């Protein structure tokens, strides 16, 4: 992995679709963007921030995320997630993450990712699947 400059920003934009709603997880929940869908967009934004710094054969995995989901987003609204690199220690990166819909900020927090050798990682998963 090439050094990732502090302040590098990644983004992910999507329209909130029916399959991303909390009510899709459980019909008793509200028909608004689910927290897992918001978190997925934050992870994709972090991956976008680091993508250009990965060497061939490298990938990344999420290690931790702590976010607050502070506002509801109805289906059909455009959602934008942003991730800013705040720390880079070896193969571990930390990000400030935020998400917005068309009207307001809907969530914020921190996220950590680790860079890995994709072939070695996939081999470990194969071994785990056999046991």
- What are 15-36's pLDDT values in tens digits? 999 999 999 999 999 999 999 9
Residue 131 has pLDDT above 80, yes or no: no
Instruction: Write out pLDDT tens, residues 50-61.
Output: 999 999 999 999
Q: Using alpha carbons, select from 82, 34, 33, 85 the residue that is nearest to residue 60.
A: 85
Residue listed under structure tokens 């990682």:
121
* The token pair that represents 85 in the structure block: 């690199």
Which residues, at least 6 apart from 120, have a Cβ–Cβ distance to it below 8 Å? none
Catalytic residue among 8, 43, 73, 94: 43
Phi-psi map region of 114: left, alpha, beta (phi>0 left; psi -120 to 50 alpha):
beta
**CATH code of the domain made up of 9-130:** 3.10.129.10
Q: Output the pLDDT for position 118.
A: 94
Q: Output the pLDDT for position 128.
A: 87
Instruction: Write out pLDDT tens, residues 75-111.
Output: 999 999 999 999 999 999 999 999 999 999 999 999 9
* This prediction's pTM: 0.94
Neighbour tally for 109: CB within 10 Å: 16
- Identify the bridge partners of residue 116 per DSSP, sorted by sequence position: 59
Catalytic residue among 8, 69, 73, 94: 69
Q: Does residue 35 carry a catalytic annotation?
A: yes
Q: Does residue 13 carry a catalytic annotation?
A: no
Q: Does residue 69 carry a catalytic annotation?
A: yes
Contact 111, 62 (CB under 8 A): yes
């Amino acid at each position: 992995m090439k050094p990732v400059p502090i302040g590098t920003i990644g983004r992910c934009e999507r329209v909130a679709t029916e399959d991303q709603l909390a009510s899709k997880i459980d019909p008793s929940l509200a028909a608004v963007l689910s927290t897992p869908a918001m978190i997925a967009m934050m992870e994709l934004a972090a991956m976008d921030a680091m993508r250009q710094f990965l060497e061939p054969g490298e990938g990344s995995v999420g290690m931790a995320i702590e976010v607050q989901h502070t506002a509801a987003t109805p289906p059909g609204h455009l959602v934008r997630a942003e991730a800013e690199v705040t720390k880079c220690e070896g193969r571990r990166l930390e990000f400030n993450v935020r998400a917005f819909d068309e009207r307001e900020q809907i969530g914020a927090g921190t996220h950590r990712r680790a860079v890995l050798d994709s072939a070695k990682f996939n081999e470990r998963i194969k071994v785990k699947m056999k046991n």
